[in-house]
Amino acid sequence: MPEAQRILVIHGPNLNLLGSREPDVYGATTLAEIDRALEAAGKEAGASLEFFQSNHEGELVERIQAAAGAAEGILINPAGLTHTSVVLRDALLATGLPVVEVHLSNVHARESFRRTSLVSDVAVGVVCGFGPASYRLGLTGLLSHLQGSP
């Protein structure tokens, strides 16, 4: 049996507050519930997932840098850093790993500043607006990409 694809799942700032933070925008699902569902989906697909959340940009950058050689791909919700962090973008690019960007809400239907992503141009795909399912859809796309499917 082939070895499981190793995927690093990164959750950016404030995502630790899911379930209580702006439920009208982000829903009532907690980050722990998202991780459990994603873990199950990964296992079913033959992937091994590692989860990391931080509210600190430097910690996110260090964890992303450590993924080089330790993971085959990165699934990331950069949260508010999507629109501001050149260093997060550069860290993702430096790994040489395929990246899929996900967002719970449809960032294009919100404030105008949210329509700019500094991550999208280094990602193989972007999924937004499907709530917690955005993560599962992003994982499916990333695994498909790793298997060479268009």
Residue numbers annotated as active site: 26, 103
Helix axes 133-146, 31-44, angle to 10 degrees: 30
Q: Identity (one letter) of the amino acid at 47?
A: A
Long-range contacts of 139-142 (CB under 8 A, 24+ apart): 139/7, 139/38, 139/41, 139/42, 139/45, 139/47, 139/49, 139/75, 139/100, 140/41, 140/45, 141/100, 142/7, 142/73, 142/75, 142/98, 142/100
